[in-house]
Amino acid sequence: MAIYTQYRSSFDRSLAALLSLVLVALTLGILWGEQRARGKARLSRSNAAGRPARPVRLGWWTPIALILPAVIVVLALALPLGVMLSWLMQGIENGETWRPVGAAIVNSLTAGTLAAVVTVLAALPVAILAARYRGTLSHWLERGAYIGYGLPGVVIGLSLVFFGANYLPALYQTMAILIFAYAVRFLPQALGSTRSSLLQVSPRLDEAARSLGLSPWQTWRRVILPLVRPGILAGAALVFLTVLKELPV
């Protein structure tokens, strides 16, 4: 909020830029602490077997355990949906048509889908390097991907507006630069889930597939990608929903 206020209220935008750099520095500090806490831990599973969880009988706590989640669902989902439906009915009663709403929904779904696809494609190589080929390059690529998430959306948006207006006028105010902005902004969401899925796949599967005659590409396509597909789809869904939330319809 301070960055946006300084940008809107001051002719000199230097203070807004300085506050943005402070956020970048804080993001780098948090990433450094996360790296130190994680260390060199290996998270891959040696096998697919697991012990079944033992159910715990709640006794007289059972009604409370059922009511509390229900209250959260009502407050987080039912209440906002009810308000929006109320607004919708008021608009229909006042003679509003569905045509602008339909066009807005189509535009939002298109932007969300394209942003999810582009973001996942950009996150996949970084996740592979971070999970399989640890080194200085992969370390800085992974950390750099999180910087955009630490910046306010207004900073990224205004930066791309300035760049497009001055250096790429053909892309100014187009869907392409909007998708690029969302890819920069939400890359960590796709990267985190994809990287976590890759870390759970044992490198021994790569070695076994290679020993059976598969090429590196065949190993990734036929062995690794099917195992990490849930994480990739989860990242894509998260980006899609976040874009729909951030993009005014």
Q: For residue range 184-240, what is the model confidence (pLDDT) as tens digits?
A: 889 988 988 888 888 888 878 878 888 888 888 888 888 888 889 999 999 999 999
DSSP symbol at 178: H
Between CA 135 and CA 83 the distance in angstroms is 51
Query: Minimal CA–CA distance to 154: which of 20, 58, 9?
Result: 20
Q: What is the pLDDT of residue 120?
A: 94
The sign one gets for the Cα dihedral 30, 160, 185, 84 is positive
Residue 153 near residue 184, CB atoms below 8 Å: no
- Domain range annotation of the chain: 101-249
Amino acid identity, position 165: A
Q: How far is CA 159 from CA 54, 138, 150, 153, in A?
A: 53, 26, 15, 10
Best-predicted range by mean pLDDT (43-52, 75-84, 151-160): 75-84
Q: What is the mean pLDDT of residues 108-118?
A: 91
Q: What is the pLDDT of residues 8-41, one digit of tens each?
A: 555 555 555 666 666 667 766 766 676 666 655 5
Domain 101-249: what homologous superfamily?
Answer: MetI-like (1.10.3720.10)
Between CA 12 and CA 163 the distance in angstroms is 19
- Count other Cβ atoms within 10 Å, centred on residue 113: 16
